[in-house]
Chains A and B, each alone.
Chain A
Amino acid sequence: MAFEIKVSDLNGKKCFQFSGQIDEEAEFPKMDDMPSHVLVDLKDVKAINSVGIRAWIMWFGGYPQTQFSFLNCPKALVMQMNMVEGFLPVRSEVLSLEVPFFCEDCDKEKDVLFEVGKEISIEAGQVKLNFDKSTICDSGCDPELDVNELKYFRFLLEKASEQAA
């Protein structure tokens, strides 16, 4: 699926909706009037490869004065946020991300959107999760978080430390 950026307004801010695969075919447009604060919705991003990572880092790096707020981050990009130092722009925050669950009872995977400040909070240098498990799967099921909780959200702690410094 070809990469695309659609621009819209969301809650009074410019919103870039990224979609498709971020790879060697992806073109990031030059923005002459990049606003000082931009929302980036990643809900429809399917995957990213090394060429896409390079293009992402170079493009966001071209706007060092802009604050980027990332929404609906899929797992494939959360992986890069933890694995590639500098993947998240210096002036950026993550507002919401996919969190994988697995239910042994119904043998199904569920990716649930968690919001920072709602299901996810950062307290005393630790990530705390607060969510209602009963809403994730069918009645009677007991889905489990399918990540290493201490490490999956590490990029949030690192970002919080950077911003505090």
Chain B
Amino acid sequence: MSKKDKRVIYLKDYVKGADSLEDKIIVGSDIRPGEAVNLAVENAPVQVVTNGFDEFRVVKIKDDVNKFLENPGESLIEVTEDISMRFHQTFFGNSNKSDFLAQVRQFLGNNKFRRVRDDIFLIADELFTNFAKSANDPAKSMKFGIDANDDTVVVFCRDHFGTLNPKDMLANMQRCFDKGVKNAIKQEEGKGAGIGSYLIYTLGVGLAITVDPGKGSLVLVWLPRTAHHEDRIEMNKSLIIIEAKES
């Protein structure tokens, strides 16, 4: 693959207004989390890559979105053979959330996950709760997964109906960055303030939202396995928004 892929734009070389950033891979060495969200809101779909993440991995994902939807963990990291580092479950619209979370908690009991355990538990809760809200059919299924190696943990949730709206998620996240969570909650009294998306994004170092309308949606977070929570929440984050085009 050419290092001069036209889909990749390096922020240090970019002249504002010269090119559209829509559906481009924007690469910058120090893009702060709120800035990445603003770039995504203005140019979605778009992929914002920072903090040393390999932009050509994103090129590969865009070249085969179906493969990413089918094997999201393996598309991002080298998945190990160690089954204690892998948890995949399929759930349905009428699955019990407490049972699901109990299984996640049991898997995370291994002290290899001690620094990410509480955060992954929260991410799992958010992903399951959002799925349950959008799955108005008890037969609709989602696949939840955790894949980990020594360095990175990937947490994802994939459905097969593809109705996720990335723009809504991004707008909610932007509101939390602009006004703070407390004010975002007050402003949206009576409605969901959407702080779940903000939390998921803040807890990791990368968030991918992929939609193939009518076929599937994927929300995926990745976290460095050994970083403390209080360090991770301050790290820059990559933000990958992909909307598959109908072929």
Q: Which residues of A contact B (CB under 8 A)?
A: 1, 23-24, 47-51, 53-54, 57-58, 75-76, 79, 82-87, 100, 102, 107-109, 146-148, 151-152, 154
Contacts and interface: CB of A to CB of B under 8 A. Distances in A.
26 contacts: A24-B129, A47-B125, A48-B122, A49-B126, A50-B196, A54-B193, A54-B195, A57-B182, A57-B185, A58-B185, A79-B119, A79-B229, A83-B199, A85-B182, A86-B181, A87-B182, A102-B111, A109-B111, A146-B114, A146-B115, A146-B228, A147-B228, A148-B230, A148-B231, A151-B228, A151-B231
B118 interface: yes
A82 B233 contact: yes
Nearest to A74: B118
Given A79-B118, A82-B229, A146-B114, 7 more contacts: A48-B122, A50-B195, A53-B195, A54-B195, A79-B119, A86-B183, A151-B231
B230 A49 contact: no
Interface of B: 98, 101, 111, 114-115, 118-119, 121-122, 125-126, 129, 180-183, 185, 192-193, 195-196, 198-199, 202, 228-231, 233-234
B24 to A, nearest CB: 30
Contacts, number: 82
A75 B228 CA distance: 12
A24 B196 CA distance: 12
Of all A-B residue pairs in the complex, the 7 with the closest CB atoms, nearest first, are: A86-B182, A151-B230, A50-B196, A49-B125, A50-B195, A148-B228, A84-B181
A86 B180 contact: yes
A19 to B, nearest CB: 15
A47 B115 CA distance: 16
A50, A84, A108 — most chain B CB neighbours (10 Å)? A50
A148 B193 CA distance: 30
Contacts of B111: 102, 107-109
A1 B97 CA distance: 11
A47 B122 contact: yes
Given A49-B125, A83-B202, A147 B230 contact: yes
A83 B115 contact: no
Contacts of A49: 122, 125-126, 129, 196
A149 B153 CA distance: 23
A24, A48, A108 — most chain B CB neighbours (10 Å)? A24
Contacts of A75: 118
B116 to A, nearest CB: 11
Contacts of B195: 50, 53-54, 84
Nearest to A151: B230
Contacts of B192: 51
B114 A100 contact: yes
A48 B185 CA distance: 16
Contacts of A54: 185, 193, 195
Contacts of B125: 23, 47, 49
Contacts of B198: 50
Contacts of B119: 79
Contacts of A109: 111, 114
A109 B98 CA distance: 25
Given A57-B182, A85-B180, A51 B231 contact: no
Contacts of B182: 57, 84-87
Nearest to B133: A24
Nearest to A23: B125
